[in-house]
């Protein structure tokens, strides 16, 4: 699994763990609040019931009408049980169906006691002293409405949790995962680049060292010394060119862009680069681009050299059409797997291993061309040839002329 995907999964699990904690806490607190509200309604009904039965002789008609009205409005769907608290044995026997001994003792201490039964049954019992005696009012009711609200809330929270999980994972995948994968890929490319660069630099150094050791084994003729020096010179030049390319690749795009930019007549520029056996074909009007002519020449020449090298003597054609340049060959081509990585430094196609090269020329060319705003696209087919399509950006001079 890629590093980015691992981080996305860890990030998703952490966030969803926090969401689960918040959702469960919210569910529990909300359910308790709903039940507490219902219990308060039961307590109001119990008090209203007690006042209805035992306050009639102590209130005038207007006040009793208010008590009756309160009783009628207080939780109408409820079951009442009225007990004489002074008949302790009988009252305790009836209360034991709903309350524990501890709750009964608390009730007799003149407290309000709340209790729960099966299937959303809730109840309240109150101890009510009156001038006619002491009484106990027990009210029971089914909180189905509250249970339905809690159930709906549970399903809504579950749906919200699922949607949140999808969104968190999607956002992580879209941004964090992609960014980390890019960083990881860049890191892997950097490691590969350093490894390949070390290998490529080691090859000429090893060749030079080997040539010196062999030459020093015995006395040589002047011709043999000259031949050895030529080989050392060739390997030194190879290493110098490679070092120049590596140093150039380490430069930033701004450094490249700011290096002696000038207007270039594109068709005329390409015509100066073309020599036999490369054919040049010009289509459309003359156009102007802005670039460093020396660096642009290096970039284009690398692509032309590759086309000629892999064509094995077959025809290479350069065609310009406005700001578009096509460099086509009839060479060995590039496989679809290799073409995805062909712009990476030191990468060479599987069918290019028998050809001389280090796999850095095309990378260098693309880096230069992109720094000048050009786009590069490669179309290729194995054993049929390759087309490099370069699309340049119009210069400010061309834009002013068109206006």
Instruction: Quick: pLDDT tens for 152-174.
Output: 888 888 888 888 888 877 777 77
Give the pLDDT of residue 190.
63
Question: What is the pLDDT, as a whole number, of residue 130?
Answer: 82
pLDDT of residue 181: 64
Sign (positive or negative) of CA dihedral 60, 65, 68, 69: negative
Q: What is the pLDDT of residue 343?
A: 80
pLDDT reported for residue 199? 58
Side-chain half-sphere exposure of 364, counting CA atoms within 13 A? 24
Residue 377: the pLDDT is: 93
The tally of CA atoms less than 13 A away on the side-chain side of residue 246 is 18
Residues (pLDDT < 70) of the chain are: 1-5, 56-57, 72-76, 119, 145, 176-201, 241-242, 245-260, 357-358, 395-403
Cβ-defined contacts of 378-383 (< 8 Å, 24+) = 378/334, 378/339, 378/342, 380/333, 380/334, 380/339, 381/333, 382/332, 382/333, 382/334, 382/335, 382/351, 383/332, 383/333
Q: What is the pLDDT of residue 390?
A: 94
SS (H, E, C) 209-263: HHHHHHHCCCCCCHHHHHHHHHHHHHHHHHHHHHHHHHHHHCCCHHHHHCCCCEE
Sequence-distant (6+) residues with CB within 8 A of 232 are 208, 211, 212
Strand order in the sheet with 324-329: 278-283, 316-321, 324-329, 385-391, 375-381
Say how far apart CA 36 and CA 24 lie, in whole Å: 18
pLDDT the model gives residue 400: 44
Q: What is the mean pLDDT of the chain?
A: 80
Peptide bond connecting 277 to the previous residue in cis, omega within 30 degrees of 0: yes
Q: How long, in residues, is the chain? A: 403
User: 235-239: long-range contacts at Cβ-Cβ below 8 A with a sequence spacing of 24 or more?
Assistant: 235/204, 235/205, 235/207, 235/208, 235/211, 236/204, 236/208, 238/204, 239/201, 239/204, 239/205
pLDDT for 65 equals 79
């Amino acid at each position: 699994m890629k590093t980015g995907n691992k981080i996305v999964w860890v990030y998703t699990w952490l966030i969803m763990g926090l969401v689960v904690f918040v959702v469960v806490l919210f569910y529990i607190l909300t359910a308790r609040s709903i039940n507490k509200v219902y219990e308060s309604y039961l307590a109001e009904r119990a008090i209203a019931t007690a006042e209805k039965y035992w306050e009639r002789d102590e209130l005038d008609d207007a006040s009793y009408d208010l008590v009756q009205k309160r009783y009628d409005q207080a939780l109408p769907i409820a079951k009442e049980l009225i007990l004489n608290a002074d008949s302790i044995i009988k009252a305790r026997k009836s209360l034991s169906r709903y309350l524990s001994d501890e709750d009964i003792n608390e009730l007799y201490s003149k407290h309000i006691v709340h209790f729960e039964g099966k299937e959303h049954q809730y109840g309240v019992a109150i101890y009510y002293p009156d001038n006619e005696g002491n009484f106990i009012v027990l009210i029971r009711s089914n909180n189905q409405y509250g249970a339905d609200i809690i159930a709906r809330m549970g399903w809504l929270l579950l749906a919200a949790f699922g949607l949140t999980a999808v969104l968190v994972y999607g956002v992580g995948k879209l941004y964090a995962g992609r960014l980390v994968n890019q960083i990881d890929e860049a890191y892997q490319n950097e490691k590969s680049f350093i490894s390949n660069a070390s290998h490529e630099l080691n090859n000429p150094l090893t060749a030079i060292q080997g040539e010196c050791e062999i030459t020093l084994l015995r006395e040589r003729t002047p011709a043999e010394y000259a031949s050895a020096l030529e080989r050392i010179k060739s390997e030194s030049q190879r290493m110098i060119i490679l070092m120049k390319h590596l140093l150039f690749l380490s430069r930033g795009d701004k450094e490249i862009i700011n290096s002696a930019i000038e207007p270039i007549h594109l068709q005329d520029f390409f015509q100066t680069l073309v020599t036999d056996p490369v054919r040049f074909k010009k289509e459309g009007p003359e156009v102007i681009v802005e670039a460093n002519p020396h660096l642009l020449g290096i970039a284009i020449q690398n692509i032309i050299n590759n086309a000629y090298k892999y064509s094995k003597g077959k025809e290479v054609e350069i065609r310009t059409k406005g700001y578009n340049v096509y460099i086509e060959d009839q060479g060995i081509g590039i496989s679809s797997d290799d073409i995805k990585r062909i712009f990476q430094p030191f990468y060479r196609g599987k069918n290019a291993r028998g050809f001389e090269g280090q796999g850095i020329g095309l990378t260098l060319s693309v880096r230069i061309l992109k720094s000048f705003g050009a786009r590069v696209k490669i179309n290729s087919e194995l054993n049929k040839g390759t087309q490099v399509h370069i699309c340049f950006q119009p210069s400010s001079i061309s834009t002013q002329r068109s206006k």
